Chain A
Amino acid sequence: MNNFSYTKVSNVQEAISELDGDIRNKIVAGGTNINDLLKYFITKADKLVDINPVSENNSIIRLDNGGIRLGALHTNADTAYDPIIEERYPLLSRAILAGASAQIRNMATNGGNLMQRTRCYYFYDINTPCNKRDPGSGCSAIQGYNRIHAILGQSENCIAVFPSDMCVALAALSATVNIMGPNGERNLAFAEFHRLPGDTPNIDNNLKHGEVITSIDLPRQGFEKNYSYLKLRDRSSYSFALVSVATGFEIENGSIKEARIALGGVAHKPWRNTEAEDFLKDKEPTRENFTAAATILLEGAKGYQQNAFKIELAKRAIIRNCFMALNPESQRPGAKPSL
């Protein structure tokens, strides 16, 4: 780690003032990602602002519109096991529990989960070119070892993927991210929070320097009857997704009234395409329809030397997860495939 100063703050305003809009001042909450990045000298900080004492953001509350507000400082574990979440947003609970390990989920916060950085090998190796870590240095992954990399939304500058599981569910649930900054409060639809790499892969998301995530709102619709999170990876647990899928259905009289499908492990952000969801609307839950939706969702997918298999794998995972969502009781721990 480089040598930084450290300060604790007890409310959001203090945090904003300590951050002072400077990119070298960083927030630490759970610490599971920032401390890792600091130790590898990938991230450098002048000052760490410890927001753990900010109690106003550390809870789950019911909203008047029937939705739920997840405090940014609430831990991933407490969120996943919260009775309201388990009952009304089991898809979110499942996705969180598919990520990392129990210890990390006990530390990691909801806000921090959104701020995770990629696990791209080259991003993590400070001695190789990487546009995300060192803008303008080039992307080593495109011509390198890219088995874990993106098949959707890449640019010629970056093919890294966003590693979160929780955020795949939040994307599917159409959450909203509440943000406080020097100029007051604002919010972003979840789909607007994370970015595609484009020409500036060093910028992961649309949170500005000096801003703080205060909470995440879930709308009333939680797809608690028909949901599934499926995560495919090189071992059964404690590893990042090669492909993951969050699926929620509202089913009425045997046909799909509303569908949500989001993909993880395939792009620089959780991948959603409402065309695929609209396609399923008012259709029967059949393999044929699921396959057609998968095809729409994967439109434009592009593979590289080692990751082309992800296109077919993602397609099959989408279809399987649609079936698993029809029968959520069959789901296994760690979001392993069932049925």
Chain B
Amino acid sequence: MTKLPQIGKPISRLEGRLKVTGSAKYAGEYEAEDLLYGYVVNSTITKGKITVIDTTEAKTLEGVIEIFTHENKPSTAWFDFQYADMDAPPGTVFKPLKDNDIKYNGQPIALVVAATFEMARYAATKIKLAYTEEKFETNLQSNLHKARDTKKGLASMLKPPPPKPTGDFEEAYQNSFVQSSGEFKHGTEHHNPMEMFATTVIYEGKDQLKIYDKTQGTINSQMYVANVFGLKMKNVQVIAPFVGGAFGSGLRPQYQLFMAVMASLKLKRNVRVTLDRAQMYTFGHRPPTVQFTKFGAEKNGKVNAIYHKAIGETSQFEDYVEIVVNWANMLYPAENTLLEHQVVPLDVYSPLDMRAPGGSTGMHAIEITMDDLAYKLNIDPLELRLINYSEKDKSSDKEYSSKELRNCYLEGAKKFGWSNRNPEPRSMKRGNKLVGYGMATGIWDANRLLARVQAIMTSDGKVAIKSAVTDIGTGTQTIMTQIAADELGLRLEDITFLYADSKMPFAPIQGGSFTTATVGPAVKAACKALNEKLFRKAKHLKNAVLSEMKFEDVIFSEGFIIVKNNPETKISIAEIFAANGGKEIKTTNTSMPNPLRYGKKARAVHSAVFVEVEVDEELGIIEVKRAVTAVAAGKIINPKTAESQILGGMIWGISKTLHEETITDHNFGKYMNPNLAEYHIPVHADIQDLNVIFVEENDTFVNDLGVKGVGEIGVVGMPPAIANAIFHATGKRINDLPIHFDKLL
């Protein structure tokens, strides 16, 4: 019988079997005839020029086919803009092997191509290099005086600059009943997906390439390759059905793609380039950032003055920007605001969006400042958020399309047992450990972009849905299938979601928590259009039972078009196909937000986070014992995969707060822990009791499905909630991340 609806059901991932049996193939795992292996050589200096790059000895080694350097690099596109990808910040994109100029430590400077991986790696050590070194700067802290405003570019559309000042911050702050200010720092962080970046290029004859790439955007990689190497778009196919984690690192084509394509085109061979773990630290990272806050509140708790300034690192060639300071006034409707964001260009690679970019940085400062205000006002931190609750985004003066944050606070607090909290710091204990409860708010944009989707029904009544979108572990394949099943009135088994192939209809890069809200409505639109086609054909059938009907008068279910008011009257899809000569019926549709309407409301996903920590004060050890995240993110298509997204985000939050950090030695201008032994992400033993609540939220504005997106929201509230819990436990305000032993001793 009918299984509708699939939306809202906790369906297990459709690709689950492939993943648990090792059959899921990732970019560096495709077999190819006489495959060559490329190994990248990286600069060991931070800034300067290569004076000698001698590959003579390396080339004599058996099995070495070719070594590419700036001296023999085949020619590629001339203009800078041809290198720009969908996520390129304002500036000049880095071009591998362009010349002998070294811009950062670890810059790729050569590619060794050999018959085996081991030989390529070994030959790389036989390249003789000499440099002239120049003075470099990699230390944000000691270069804060160089902070400047950022350049604007296309990327500013999704990443708007801070809103203009409102009211008179200084005066309001000075006259506030209470004031709280803070300085907040975090260092460099790297995405470190478990799969290392890899590209396998299949040379299919005359400049025609099939490319298996690790990417969050098949069309983004396709465009990049076509533009840079002067190929026709149709001759470049990029495929990425399985992506072993990315978290933003795949939003831009990385240099292994360039290297593999370059070698393949030149040698007319199949080539694979896989980066090693240390090389995973040679492109893109979350930028170290310093923030300053000053919040003022009235006696009743109303925040009336907000100052938030962030200074982030960027490279010398691009102005990487993220949204750090825009959030406070979106949440708390202060009349007097001063919000600033600046960057300091340093001799590093350009930073790159990393899970909850900007939001996880900014909310850390905002929500700790709010917590501090709560103590100064002697108001419960949760109560303070409710006092400052706003149905409107004050910063844009727009109503929210929906905002169930209040229920997040209330349901989260109830589930967590917030009322058991003794407000006094250091008042709660368990054995010799101090116990702390902390909470924080989370917020993230709910965006939607343009996407196209094709739906094809074959005579067996089965439907293929096609989109170039990737599934980086988010569950995209599964939830798109659910959406299609409901719209078409079919079972999940009747739908095949074909994806992650640049030959399929356009989808933007998968990031920013906007994939479901972007591709989902396109799937729905294509399925609806397919139904309409079927309906039109049904109306013209000989028996003509539907001839007088309108599309609105029927439903589609289990292979039948059924009249709503008279379920006995129906036409089978099989009949339609019979009349159609068995030919497949297909439609391709574009879906995008209405540009006149979409900007009229503020759109965001919200969360309330509650954390319990246990602190062993004598030894400085902090354990996150429990955490509850209550999320309002519109319609949840699949509670199982969505919960996993939130849990993953929470664990990222724990990691960011207590563990991970890329260590830079500024004497050398390089990262010193480019590996998973010394770059600490949490292990199983670090993760204790985590809970997720999805709060009911109906939103008819954001898109037809009412979905917002859950990829980043799990992260943003965790760092301040943990830091606030540590304060509650110990009475110590620690504003720098990560919080290690030494900071508590």
Contact = CB atoms under 8 A, between A and B. Distances in A.
Is B a genuine binding partner of A? yes
Contacts of B682: 235
A309 B623 CA distance: 20
A145 B683 contact: no
B11 interface: no
B618 A140 contact: no
Contact of A313 (B431, B620, B675, B684): B620
A143 B682 CA distance: 29
A235 B683 contact: yes
A1 B680 contact: no
A165 to B, nearest CB: 15
Interface stretch (A195-203, A219-227, A237-245): A237-245
A144 interface: yes
Given A2-B122, A334-B685, A339-B431, A235 B619 contact: no
Interface string B567-597: 0000000000000000000000000000000
B34 interface: no
Nearest to B44: A127
A143 B672 CA distance: 13
B665 interface: yes
B677 A239 contact: yes
Chain B interface mostly helix, strand, loop or mixed? Answer: loop
Given A121-B673, A121-B678, A232-B619, A140 B745 contact: no
B340 interface: no
Given A236-B685, A313-B620, A145 B665 contact: yes
A236 B619 contact: no
Interface in B654-682: 658-659, 663-665, 667-668, 670, 672-673, 675, 677-678, 680-682
Nearest to A309: B742
A208 interface: no
B616 interface: yes
A234 interface: yes
B122 A121 contact: no
Interface residues of A, number: 39
B618 A237 contact: no
Contact of A237 (B620, B621, B665, B683): B683
B656 to A, nearest CB: 13
Contacts of B620: 313
Contacts, number: 92
A56 to B, nearest CB: 33
B432 A317 contact: no
A242 B741 contact: yes
A300 B121 CA distance: 45
Chain B: interface size category: 35 or more
A247 B621 CA distance: 20
Interface string B2-13: 000000000000
B255 to A, nearest CB: 19
B118 interface: yes
B376 interface: no
A237 B685 contact: yes
Nearest to A235: B680
A86 B673 CA distance: 35
A235 B678 CA distance: 10
Contacts of A337: 616, 619, 621
A140 B668 contact: yes
B686 interface: yes
Nearest to A330: B431
B50 to A, nearest CB: 15
Interface string A178-200: 00000000000000000000000
A302 interface: no
Interface string A124-146: 11011000000000001001110
A304 to B, nearest CB: 13
B13 to A, nearest CB: 26
B745 A235 contact: no
Interface string A1-40: 1110000000000000000000000000000000000000
Contact of A236 (B665, B673, B675, B686): B686
Contacts of A309: 741-742, 745
A160 to B, nearest CB: 14
Contact of B619 (A140, A320, A333): A320
Interface string B293-309: 00000000000000000
A232 B620 CA distance: 9
A99 to B, nearest CB: 12
A119 interface: yes
A234 to B, nearest CB: 5
A147 B187 CA distance: 15
Given A121-B672, A125-B672, A309-B745, A140 B616 contact: no
Given A2-B122, A122-B672, A234 B680 contact: yes
Contacts of A143: 667
A232 to B, nearest CB: 6
Contacts of B681: 235
Interface in A287-329: 306, 309, 312-313, 316-317, 319-320
B601 interface: no
A124 B676 CA distance: 13
Q: Pick from B621, B667, B672 the residue with the most CB of A within 10 Å.
A: B672
B683 A41 contact: no
Given A119-B678, A128-B668, 13 more contacts: A125-B670, A144-B667, A147-B663, A147-B742, A234-B659, A234-B680, A236-B685, A239-B677, A239-B680, A313-B619, A316-B618, A317-B619, A333-B685
Interface of B: 44, 118, 121-122, 125, 431-432, 616, 618-621, 623, 658-659, 663-665, 667-668, 670, 672-673, 675, 677-678, 680-686, 740-742, 745
25 contacts: A1-B118, A121-B663, A121-B665, A125-B672, A127-B44, A128-B670, A140-B665, A140-B668, A147-B663, A232-B741, A235-B659, A235-B682, A235-B683, A236-B623, A236-B683, A236-B685, A239-B680, A313-B620, A313-B742, A316-B745, A320-B618, A337-B616, A337-B619, A337-B621, A339-B432
Interface of A: 1-3, 41, 119, 121-122, 124-125, 127-128, 140, 143-145, 147-148, 232, 234-240, 242, 306, 309, 312-313, 316-317, 319-320, 333-334, 336-337, 339
